[in-house]
Structure formats: C-alpha cells, structure tokens
Structure 1
Amino acid sequence: MISYNEALKIALQLKSRIDKCVETPNAYLFKNVDDEYSIGGEGICCILKENGKAIGTTEYYENYANYSDDEVKEFDVNLKV
C-alpha cells in the first residue's frame, strides 16, 4: 500500500499540472481544473494504492471503481514548499 505522498510523486512525473486529488478506497485520482472541461489532453492520473501503478481513467472506472460516494474525499493539492 502506497501513501498519498508516494502517489503524488508518481503522478507529478506523468502530469504537468495537478490541482486536485480525489481519494477513493483503492486509488488516488490526480487532476487539474482543465481536466473537467477538455477533450483529450493529459486527463486524470489514476494511481492505485495497492502497488503505485498508474492506469487510465477508463481502466480505473471499469475495474476498480466499486465503492459508495461516502468513501470518496476530494481535496486541493498544495505543491508549494
């Protein structure tokens, strides 16, 4: 099981800008404000908690998204050091 900080490090290697994170029971989904309104582009970066593997949004929702809305947290990502 990887931590949020480990997942964020992986996501930052794959995605140029991250503003938000949606945490589910089995993954961290990193996104920016443009992801909600664009077609194409980088898209949401899904990092599985069990092994740190980065997968696409379609694979995530088809194979891993089995939980209730009560189990989901969304928060801002602060990259300022």
Structure 2
Amino acid sequence: MKLNTSVLVLTLAAVLAGCNEDNKSQRTNTVGWYLDHRDDLAAALTTCGDNPGELGKTPNCINANEARNKITIQEMEDALK
C-alpha cells in the first residue's frame, strides 16, 4: 500500500512538472517587443484571433493587441500631419 502511494505521488509530481515546463516554454513578449517585431505581431494577432476564447486573455495576446492599438494610433496621428 505504501509503495502504491509513493508511485502515485511521484507520478503526480512528474505530470505537474511537465505542465510547468509547457508554461515556461511560452515566452511572454512585451508591447515594445511586438512593436519591433511586426511579423511576429501579425502572427500573434492571427493566432489570438483564431481562438479568442482560450487565448484572448493571455499576456501575449493582450500585449499584441496593445501593440496593434499603438500602431493604429500612430498611423492616425501621422495621417493628420
């Protein structure tokens, strides 16, 4: 019985560690980073737009949308000059 409990605890720890690694592999990009990397911004906006229910509130989607907003505002200001 003690062996089964130990195996269960170790298995659970391994599963949880694997989930943590998945989260770490997804780097969070800042708004400024997206402003400097327009191709990645376009890709992130496409990905976020394809699945807003699951991804819409993630840091990368929020930052990508904010970068898009800043670009739009800058383009509007430039057009008025």
TM tier relative to shorter chain: under 0.3
TM-score for both structures, normalised by structure 1: 0.26
TM-score for both structures, normalised by structure 2: 0.26
- Larger-gyration structure (1/2): 2
Q: Which has the higher contact order (CA 8 A, sep 6+)?
A: 1
Higher normalized helix content (fraction of residues)? 2
Higher normalized strand content (fraction of residues)? 1
